[in-house]
Structure 1
């Protein structure tokens, strides 16, 4: 999937270093709400191991990571991941982030729209959901731009890496 100067594609094992660089550059701002990814990518070696784990999860159809790449620089600039997949319905949770340098440019909104279209056509999901802290205005705006609506707030639903229990707003999109 491509648009403007960007390409969206599955994460490949041989690109572990670029993935590590994306996470490491944004580590501080990701640590609370991408805690699993951040904890599994502390070093390049850890990241390579994690990328092998991801490939197995992709084969099992239990996790799908999509990387957003800037075609001008060939750098990884964002991640959209599909997790907590329930094939009985079928539904999944979608998470996303964009490198700080690309925030506010509409890149993640456009990329998310393309991935949602792909997921709908390829896997025939009936529902996608995303969770966000109510303070994460940018993430909520991206979800709303892509047709997600607030379904409710779950109190004390997530523990941050700092140990804080926070409420999460659940946004859903039905197909």
Structure 2
């Protein structure tokens, strides 16, 4: 996927871009700690990130994980991530997660990027269902999901352990395709 809109571009993560990926995570680390715990824990240092990107490269080849990077073409920086994980090819369905750099919040970039990724997943991979999980306190993430056609399916109690060790409930939002 290589999609451009306004001055932004969405591409699959080039694992040779480990340093830029590290800085995206590092610049947003405190915001991401609780709900991108896996990514945050595997990118503590640039060296860790390089190793993690090698893992990601294999997952992309196996079609078990798709990390889409949002870049600002004006500044040539990574500004967001939409990751497709927990893929079940038998249905096919997947979980989708996303975040945008704090400096780009509220501009509609993540909503538009997610719309593009969803179209890509639906057309190319023929996913029948996508889901996203969110803590009910994450109003921004929920708004993005709803703007993209996701509907609350329910709340799973004690479903996720944050990096601080708190076990929290998560709201599950789903979107189905015919």
The TM-score range, normalised by the shorter chain, is over 0.9
In structure 1, the residue matched to 2:59 is 57
In angstroms, what is the RMSD of aligned CA positions? 0.4
Name the CA distance, whole Å, in 2 between partners of 1:132 and 1:49.
Answer: 28
Structure 1 residue 13 displacement after superposition: 1.8
Alignment partner, residue 20 of structure 1:
22
2:105 paired residue number: 103
Match in the other structure for 1:29: 31
Please name the residue that 2:170 is paired with. 168
Deviations 1:76-134 (A, max 9, x none): 00000000000000000000000000000000000000000000000000000000000
1:51 and 1:9 map into 2 onto residues whose CA distance is 15
CA distance in structure 1 between the aligned counterparts of 2:33 and 2:131, rounded to whole angstroms: 21
Question: Which residue does the alignment assign to 1:113?
Answer: 115
Q: Which residue of 1 aligns with 2:12?
A: 10
CA-to-aligned-CA distance 1:126-171 (integer Å, 9 cap, x gap): 0000000000000000000000000000001000011111000000
Instruction: Report the TM-score when normalising by structure 1.
Output: 0.99
Q: Partners in 1 of 2:16 and 2:122 — Cα distance?
A: 28
TM-score w.r.t. structure 2 length? 0.98
Rounded to whole Å, the distance in 2 between the matches of 1:7 and 1:31 is: 25
Deviation at 1:14, TM superposition (A): 1.6
Q: Gapped runs of 5+ residues in structure 1?
A: none
**1:84 maps to 2:83:** no
